[in-house]
Amino acid sequence: MKKVIIIILTIIIIVFGLYFIQSGTAGRSISKSDDYDEAAKGVGDMLRERTRGEPMDIRLEGHSIKGLNYRVLVDANLKPFASEDFLEDILGCAVRRYSGGDLVIERGDAKVSLTVDDVWVLQDVVFIPLDDRMKTLDYNVEMSFAQNYIDFSQINGNPALPAAYDMRKDDRVTPVRDQGKYGTCWAFASLGALETVTMPYEENIYSPDHMTLSNSYKLDVAAGGDHSMSIAYMAAWQGPVYEEDDPYGDRKTDEKLTAAKHLEEAVVINERDDEVIKSAIYRYGGIETSLYLAMSYDNLDSKYYNNENDAYYSPEPHKPNHDVVIVGWDDNYSRDNFGEKPKKDGAFICRNSWGRSFGEGGYFYVSYEDPNICTQSVVYTRLAEKDNFDRIYQSDMLGWVGQMGFESDTSYFANVYTAEGDERLAGVSFYSTDKNTEFSVYLVHDFKDTNDFEKKELVASGGTRYAGYYTVHLSDEELWLKPGERFAVLVYIKTPGSQKPVAVEYAANDRSSKADITDGEGYISQYGSKWTRTEEELEANVCLKAFTVKR
C-alpha cells in the first residue's frame, strides 16, 4: 500500500498544467513523414487486431494511469509511439521542436535527437517512438500485447530537472525589448513569455502597444496592468498581433487588427513553488511573474542590486511593482554575487524589459530567497493557430475579474448563445479558479428557458491541476447547431477548498469599470435545478465561451 501511495504522489508531482481529456499541443507544426498516409491508414486496424478494440493500459512503475487518457499507438512492426504530451507531463521530458521538423528530447542531463522521419503526426498530435533511446532518458519500456499494457519504469531514478537551465542557450527566447518610461512591463512580460511557447521552431514578436491599447479595459498606458488583463485580451481573440503591424511607443493602435494566434491555455500558479516553476520553464516556456524592484528604469542605484554581477535580492517582503519573465535557473549561483547576501546559493534567470543595456544584455539574476518573486506566476502552455475554430461566442471581455458561488466547492454555470450559421460546437473555454478542479461540460439544444437545462447532454469531462484558463476541445462530430438556434453551454465544476469556484466578469473597481453586462445571458446554480440569471440579479457575466466550426 505504501508503494502505491508513493507512485500516486510521484504522478501528482510530475504531472503539470494540462487537463486530462486533451492530447497534443495545438499550434505547433511539424512535417509529415513520407509514410504518413500509409501508416495512418493501418493504425486503426492494427490497434483493433492487437488490442481487441480496447485502449492499451498505460502503466507507470506497474500502476495504471489510463484514467489520465494519454494514448500509445503501435505501427505495423509492433513499434510503440507515445504522444508528445505524455513524455512531457508524465515522464518529465522537455520536447523541443525546430524549424526543419527535427526534435530534441531532454530529461535532466540527458538528451535524445530525433528527425522528422522518426515521428508520427496523427490528427495534429505528435507521437514519439518508444525505442531504446528511452533508456538514455532513464526509462525502460515493457509492452505486452497478450495482456494489452505498456509499462514505463525508471532505470536509475535520475532527476527530471537539471541543476541549471537557461532558455537562451536553447534559442528559446526572442530579443530583449525596451518599454521606455511607460507602465507597460506587464504587457512586455506577458508577450515575452508567450513568444517562448513557439520557440525555437517559430519566432514571432508580438505588439505590446496593441495589448495595452486595444484591450477591453481601455486604460492609459501609465495605468499598468497584470496577467489577468493579458489572458482576457488573448482569450477574447483581440490579440496577440505582430509588432510590425502595431509598432510600440507611438501611443496609437489599430483595433481592426485580428489575433495572429489563439490562446487555448494559460496556467496560473497561485503560490511560490520553485520545482513547479522550474518544471514549467523546462517543458513549456518562460514564466510571467512579478517582483518588487527597489530601483527604476531611470535609476538603478539600490543596495539590493549588484550592478557588477547583475544580481538582485531584497530580503524584506514588499508588494510587487514590476513584471518580468523567468527563463531559467541556477541552483549553484553563488550567494556572494548579491549585494545583500542571502543565506543560500541559487537564483532565477530573469528577462527584463528595460533594453539590452540593463543587466546581462537585458537579463538579471534574482535570489531564490527573495520573498517577493513568484507569489503568482503564469505560463502559457497552449497557443493555437488562428484557424483552430471559425467563430467565438462570448460575453466576458474582461475575463476573470472575480468569483461567485454558494459557499460550496461545487457549482453549475451556463451561458446561452444564438448560433449564427450552420455550425458545430467544437469547444468551450472557462477558468479554473484553483488547483485540482474537476469539470463536466454539457450542451443544451433549442434553449427557451431554465427548464431546458434538464435536457443537458454531457459532451466532455476532465480536470485541471492548477488554476488558469482552459479550452476543452469537443470530439463529438455530431454537435451541430442550426442557424438561429439558441443553445446553452453548461459546466459543472468542483474546486476543492473553494467557496466561490465560478469566474465572472463585473465592475469590481476602477480598473474593471468598463465591464459590459448587457451582452450576455448567463446563469448559475448550486445544484443544477434552481437557476439565477447573473446579469439581472448579480450584475455579472459568466466566464464561459463557446467555439464553433462551419459545416
Local confidence band at 372 (pLDDT 50, 70, 90 cut-offs): very high
Q: Rounded to whole angstroms, how far apart are CA atoms 97 and 171?
A: 11
What confidence score (pLDDT) does residue 27 get?
38
311-366 pLDDT tens trace = 999 999 999 999 999 999 999 999 999 999 999 999 999 999 999 999 999 999 99
Confidence of residue 308 (pLDDT cuts 50, 70, 90): very high
Please give the DSSP secondary-structure letter assigned to residue 336: G
Is the model's pLDDT at 439 over the cut of 60?
yes
Q: Which residues pair with 481 in a beta bridge?
A: 423
Who contacts 503 (Cβ-Cβ below 8 Å, separation ≥6)? 399, 400, 402, 403, 430, 431, 433, 543
What pTM did the predictor assign? 0.88
**Spatial separation of the C-alpha atoms in residues 9 and 230, rounded to whole Å:** 33
User: Is pLDDT above 50 for 438?
Assistant: yes
The 10s digit of each residue's pLDDT in 79-135 is: 899 988 899 888 999 998 887 778 999 999 999 999 988 988 876 778 999 999 999
CB distance 445 to 489 below 8 Å: no
* Residue-averaged pLDDT of the chain: 89
- For residues 20 and 242, which has the higher predicted lDDT (pLDDT)? 242
Cell 457549482 sits on residue: 411
Question: Looking at residues 63-72, what average pLDDT do you find?
Answer: 81
End-to-end CA distance of the chain: 52
Q: Does position 17 have pLDDT exceeding 80, yes or no?
A: no
Backbone angles phi, psi at 67, to 5 degrees: -65, -15
Q: Beta strands 457-464 and 437-444: pairing type?
A: antiparallel
Residue matched to cell numbers 465592475: 507
For residue range 408-422, list pLDDT tens digits in order: 999 999 999 999 999
Distance of CA 118 to the CA centre of its chain: 27
pLDDT at position 42: 53
CA distance 215 to 425: 26
Q: How many residues does the chain have?
A: 551
What contacts 426, CB < 8 A, 6 or more positions away?
389, 473, 474, 479, 547, 548, 549
State pLDDT tens for residues 492-503: 999 999 999 999
- pLDDT tens digit sequence for 3-16: 443 343 344 334 34
More confident residue, 33 or 361: 361
pLDDT single digits (tens) 242-285: 999 999 988 889 889 999 999 999 999 999 999 999 999 999 99
Report whether the peptide linkage leading into residue 162 is cis, meaning its omega lies within 30 degrees of zero. Answer: no
Q: Which residues contact 482 (CB under 8 A, 6 or more apart)?
A: 419, 422
Position 478 pLDDT exceeds 90: yes
What does the alpha-carbon distance between residue 241 and residue 238 come to, in Å, rounded to a whole number? 8
Buried b (16+ CB within 10 A) or exposed e, 248-280: beeeebeeebebbbbbbbbbbbeebeeebbbbb
Portion of the chain with pLDDT greater than 70, in percent: 90
Across the strands, what pairs with 143? Answer: 150
